[in-house]
Structure 1
Amino acid sequence: MAYEPRGDYGDRGGGQDGAFMKVRGRRPVTDYSASVLHWMRDRAPNYRGGYTGERERPSASYIVDMIPPAGRPVFPADSIPAKHLHSSLNKIKHPINVVRWTPEGRRLLTASTSGEFTLWNGTGFNFETIMQAHDSAIRALEYSHSDDWLISGDHDGVIKYWQPNFNNVKSINAHTDPIRDLAFSPNDSKFVTASDDSTLKIFDFALGQEELKLEGHGWDAKSVDWHPTKGLIISGSKDHLVKLWDPRTARALTTLHSHKSTITKVLFEKKLGRCFATSARDQTARVFDLRMMRDIVLLKGHEKDISTLTFHPIHANLLSTGGMDGSLFHYMLDTPNPPGRPAPDCRPL
C-alpha cells in the first residue's frame, strides 16, 4: 500500500502534523529490505507458543539464503517439506514408477511405464529432455555409490547400464519376469536384483554376468537392498516374508514374519547401518534393529497400503513413507510411536 506526504512536506517525510495520507490508484509499494519485516513474515512458532527461527522463504531469490539439512543436524523437522511448490507434467501422461535425483542434485530423473527417461530441472522443475530407454515399463533404477554408473531394470527382465550422460553401455537379459528392485554392493563391484520369478540374483558389474542366485521366497520378490558397509542383503516378497542373506554363500541367514501382507519396500539406514525398515500392504511400516534382530518401532497412520519408504540421508532418525492414496507421512524415530515403545538407536552420534 503506497503512502505519500500531504502538501509540500516531502523532504520531512510527513504531513503538516507528521501524518500521512493514503493515495489510491497507485501501484502498491513494499519495502523488501527491512530485516524486521523478513523476521515477522518468516518467523516460525515453537512448541511453547512463541516464535523462533525462520520458515522457507517465499521468493526464489531467497534460495541462496537457505541452510541445507547438513547445516542443521539437530533439527531434522526443518527438512520436512511442508508446502507444495510445483507440479510438472509430460505431454503424454504415463504412470511413473521410479524417481531419483541425479548425483549432483541439480536434476530429477523419472522412469515411466512407457520405458522413457525424463530429466527435469531441479530448481525450476521444467522439462529438459526425454529419451526412450527401454522397450517396456521401467520398474527399477539405481545409481552406483561412486555416481559413475546408473542401472535400470524393466518389465521384461532386462537390465541396462548407463553413463551419467545417459549413454547406454550394456544390456543384460537378467530375468524372465519383471525386475522390481536393484541395489549396488558397497564397493560397486556387484549388484543384486529382485524379480517376480521369486529369486534374487547377484551380478558381477564389470563382467555383467550372474554369479549367484538366491532362492527361498515362495512368491514374487518385490524389494531388495544391500547393506552400506557389510556383506548383507535384505529382501521382501509377496509371501509376506523379509529375509536376510549372505551374498557370499547365497544362504538365508534369517526370516522375519512381522508383516501380514505383501512387502512393498525394504531399506537399510545408510548413515549408521544399524537399522533397516520395511513396509507392507497391511498399512504399517516397521523399523528393525540389526543387533537385536527384532522390530523396535511400529509405524501406523496410513489409511491405505504403504507403497514405499525412505530414510533421510542426513538425519538418520527421520523416516518418510508414501501410501497408495498419495499421502506422505514423516516419522521422527527418536520419538516412540506408539507411546510406550522403546525408541530405536538410529540417531546420529
Structure 2
Amino acid sequence: MSGVTGRAEPRQQLVPLWVAHDRDYINLLAWSPTGRLLACASADGGVALYSRDDGRLLWRHSAHGLGTTALAWSPDGQWLSSGGQDDQIVIWEPVTGEPSACWKAGRGWVEKLAWSPAGVLASITGRELKLWDERGSLQQAFEPADSTLTGLEWMPDGSLLTSCYGLVSHWRPGKAEPLRNHFWKGSLLSLAASPDGMWIASGSQEGIVQLWAKSAGKSCQMSGYSAKVRHLSWSHDGQLFATGGGEEMLIWDCGGEGPEGSEPDYLPVHLATITALSFSPVSKWIASGAEDCRLFLYDAANRRQLAVLVDNEAVSALCWHPQGEYLTAGYADGTIKLLRLASHG
C-alpha cells in the first residue's frame, strides 16, 4: 500500500473563523442547502441552529429525550428534520425554530433520516423503513427487515438503499418488494453509494468493505482492516473512495473498472480510532477526525497533506460547507469550529 509514511506536521494550518459551544457531545452537523445555516445534533437530545457568518446561536431546543441521532435538511432548505432515541421525528421551521410537526417513527430509536430530491423523508427505526411527507403523514411502510437497519441512502434515480445484517436492499417508492438484494455473510454497519450511482459500498463489523457495481453480478471486497469499518466517503466525481476502520484511512481509485486488484493510498495519520471521514463536495480534499483529538486534511488528487489541527478533545463530527470553502468540526465537549486553510484566508 502507498501513502503517507510519517507523522510530521505540515506547514499549513487550519484557521478557525469562529468557535461556538453547544452543551454536550456533538453527534451530527449539517449545513442548509444554501450554506447559511448550520444545524447541530447533540448527545443530550438538543437540536440547535447557528449562523454561518459569525457562529451566533439562533435557537436551541431540547428535542429528543435520550439523544439526537439523526439530522437532515429538506432539499429546498425549508425544513430541518431531526430524530432521536425517543423514537420521535421532529420537523423544524428554521427561521422561527418552532416545530411544525412531531410524530413517533416506530419502535426503536431513529437511526437515520434522508430526504429525496422530490421532498420525501425516509427514516429507519429498528427494523422499519418508512416514507413520510413534511407534515408527518405516512406515505409508505415497508415490511420489517430481519435485523436492525444500519444504513439509508437515496440514489440518483429516486430509488432507495438500506443495509442490515446480511444484505443491502434496493427499494423503489410505491413498490412493496425490493428491486434487488445484495447479500453478504456478516454484519453491515455503514452504507454509501457513489454520486453517479455506479457503486454501492458497505462496511462490516468483520473489518471488510464490500462493493457492488450497478451492473448485475459484479462485486469486489477489501479486507484486512484492523477494526469495524464504520466510515465511508466518496469524492464528488465518484473516482475516489475513502474508508476508515480503526486508526487507518485508505483511499481507493474507483475509476475505470473499479478498485479490484489495485493498491490504495494508506494513510496512518491518526493515533486512535477514526470518528469522522468526509470528502469535500467540490474537490478531492478529504478530512478525517479521530479520538486522538487530531483533524487531518489531505489532498487525495495530489497525494499530499494539507493541514493537521490538534485540539484537547476528540473530534466527533465533520461537515463540509456546500460550496467546499469551509470545513466544520464538532468535538466531544460540545465545541464547534468553522475552519479554513490559512493559505486560503
The normalised TM-score by structure 1 is 0.62
Letter of the 1:203 partner, please give it.
W
Corresponding residue to 2:84 among 112, 128, 144: 112
> What residue is the counterpart of 1:148 in the other structure?
119
> What residue is the counterpart of 1:213 in the other structure?
181
Do the aligned residues in 2 keep the contact of 1:186 with 1:226 (CA within 8 Å)? no
Deviations 1:254-296 (A, max 9, x none): 1112522111022322x3111112122x123222211362464
Letter of the 1:222 partner, please give it.
L
Deviations 1:105-137 (A, max 9, x none): 35432221221123445467x453543222321
> What residue is the counterpart of 1:163 in the other structure?
133
Residue 88 of structure 1: SS of its match in structure 2?
Answer: strand
Instruction: Check if 1:193 corresponds to 2:162.
Output: yes
CA distance in 2, matches of 1:237, 1:48: 35
> What residue is the counterpart of 1:253 in the other structure?
219
Sort the Cα spacing of 1:98 and 1:285 in 2 relative to 1 into closer, same or farther, 3 A.
farther
Sort the Cα spacing of 1:55 and 1:193 in 2 relative to 1 into closer, same or farther, 3 A.
closer
> What residue is the counterpart of 2:26 in the other structure?
none
Instruction: Check if 1:265 corresponds to 2:234.
Output: no
Residue 60 of structure 2: SS of its match in structure 1?
Answer: coil
Deviations 1:217-260 (A, max 9, x none): x32111122222243211111111111113453x3521112522
> What residue is the counterpart of 1:310 in the other structure?
278
1:176 Cα deviation after fit: 1.8
Do the aligned residues in 2 keep the contact of 1:266 with 1:277 (CA within 8 Å)? yes
> Over aligned residue pairs, what C-alpha RMSD do you find?
3.8
> What residue is the counterpart of 1:175 in the other structure?
145
Do the aligned residues in 2 keep the contact of 1:224 with 1:267 (CA within 8 Å)? no
Give ranges in structure 2 of 5+ residues lacking alignment.
1-10, 21-33, 37-51, 307-323, 325-345
Sort the Cα spacing of 1:137 and 1:303 in 2 relative to 1 into closer, same or farther, 3 A.
farther
Corresponding residue to 1:93 among 47, 65, 88: 65
Residue 206 of structure 2: SS of its match in structure 1?
Answer: coil
Larger radius of gyration: 1
Residue 210 of structure 1: SS of its match in structure 2?
Answer: coil
Corresponding residue to 1:137 among 102, 109, 113: 109
Letter of the 1:240 partner, please give it.
G
Sort the Cα spacing of 1:164 and 1:94 in 2 relative to 1 into closer, same or farther, 3 A.
same
Sort the Cα spacing of 1:48 and 1:132 in 2 relative to 1 into closer, same or farther, 3 A.
closer
Deviations 1:37-94 (A, max 9, x none): xxxxxxxxxx999xxxx95799xxxxxxxxx779xxxxxxxxxx89865483415532
Do the aligned residues in 1 keep the contact of 2:297 with 2:305 (CA within 8 Å)? no
* Greater RCO (Cα-Cα under 8 Å, separation 6 or more): 2
**More helix by proportion, 1 or 2?**
1
Sort the Cα spacing of 1:48 and 1:204 in 2 relative to 1 into closer, same or farther, 3 A.
closer
> What residue is the counterpart of 2:239 in the other structure?
274
CA distance in 2, matches of 1:82, 1:244: 40
Residue 316 of structure 1: SS of its match in structure 2?
Answer: coil
Give ranges in structure 1 of 5+ residues lacking alignment.
1-46, 59-67, 71-80, 340-347
Sort the Cα spacing of 1:83 and 1:279 in 2 relative to 1 into closer, same or farther, 3 A.
farther
> What residue is the counterpart of 2:249 in the other structure?
285
1:201 Cα deviation after fit: 1.5
CA distance in 2, matches of 1:98, 1:173: 22
Do the aligned residues in 1 keep the contact of 2:249 with 2:267 (CA within 8 Å)? yes
CA distance in 2, matches of 1:176, 1:235: 18
**More strand by proportion, 1 or 2?**
2
Sort the Cα spacing of 1:295 and 1:302 in 2 relative to 1 into closer, same or farther, 3 A.
same
Do the aligned residues in 2 keep the contact of 1:298 with 1:337 (CA within 8 Å)? no
